Amino acid sequence: MTALAPILESFFLRRLMGQRRASQNTVASYRDAFRLLLHYAKEETGKAPQGLKLEDLDATFIGSYLAWLERSRGASVHTRNARLAAIRALFRYASYDFPEHADLIQRVLAIPAKRSDTAIVTYLTEEESTALINAPDASTWRGRRDRTLLLVAIVTGLRVSELVNMTTADVHLESGAYLSCRGKGRKERITPLGKDAGARLKAWLAEQKPQRLAPLFPGPSGQKLTRDAVAKIVARHVKQATKDCPSLALKTVSPHTLRHTCAMRLLQAGIDIATIALWLGHENIRTTQIYLHADLALKQRALDRTAPPGSRPGRYHPPNDLLAFLEGL
């Protein structure tokens, strides 16, 4: 019998943190996956985490756990697949130290990811973006912070994790203002701010007079905001902005929607998809292609360049002034 606890501890300390130097977000995601798994195992088997064996987590049990995530917790297919990816990583790690469980491990690794529907991304129009940015009360400190945060999020397309980890040292307001950040996969990149966002940030920093490594968007006590806090900020101001822009009520708006909005603004301005992928910090350009499907105007322009079905090929007819010129030769 092989105890699960030392395998889990070694996986986090040696594999994730020691060998892979996984980011805090990755470690937190894996932690949540196994925390839910241990709670489910306690309910189903009656065994506490320290009493679980690797043999208890066979393919049948893992399959029922994944079904429980979707059925009882309302997890999306994407979340279900993320939890499965964490479990696969653990079992691949265990396969080198416990070859006697090769058959059990192989069966778990053979559990397929579930295919999901690809929905068209939600983004805000210019009118909706303006209404949202203007929703916070600019007469209060919190309102000015929220206005600046929302404008920067829409202009730069930064992930919410990148926004909350931004410090004042990451802001460069000289000629050609930009933000520097370390994003997903430890990739460092710089993102232009634009005139309006640069001016808003300059005024915000002048008001704050923060230390160099202070959070760019702090909470009331000076601590950096959490991702949940940013989600609540967006939800609160969307509700307020809906009074002036009713179309917002028809959309589910999250911090990630602001990132989509940035990408769509760039696409509609004629920026090529490769540049947008670079701007957003996408690892693969295929990730960025979802925005092509969301732009109806782009598809309409393509349709306008095609001939209607069943139409006969036409002939070139020169303009009258060209005909007159040719006849005069």
Burial label for 296, CB within 10 Å (0-12, 13-18, 19+), is exposed
| Choice among 101, 144, 200, 282 that is catalytic | 282
| Choice among 30, 40, 93, 291 that is catalytic | 291
Task: Give the span between the Cα atoms of 7 and 91, in whole angstroms.
Answer: 9
H/E stretch holding 199: helix 195-208
The answer to whether 248 and 143 have CB atoms below 8 angstroms apart is no
C-alpha Rg value of the chain to the nearest Å: 26
243 is catalytic: no
| Choice among 101, 259, 260, 265 that is catalytic | 259
Output the six-digit token pair for 257. Answer: 């929607």
Instruction: Name the region of 187 (left: φ>0; alpha: ψ -120 to 50; beta: rest).
Output: beta
293 is catalytic: no
Q: Token match 């090769």: residue?
A: 102
78 is catalytic: no
| Choice among 159, 237, 260, 265 that is catalytic | 159
315 is catalytic: no
3-state secondary structure (DSSP) of residue 215 = strand
15 is catalytic: no
Angle at the Cα of 261 from the Cα atoms of 267 and 281, rounded to 5 degrees: 75
| 175 to 192, 197, 199, 205, 218: CA distances (angstroms) | 11, 13, 12, 17, 26
178 is catalytic: no
| Choice among 184, 189, 202, 251 that is catalytic | 184
The answer to whether 7 and 101 have CB atoms below 8 angstroms apart is no
Q: Which residues are catalytic?
A: 159, 184, 256, 259, 282, 291
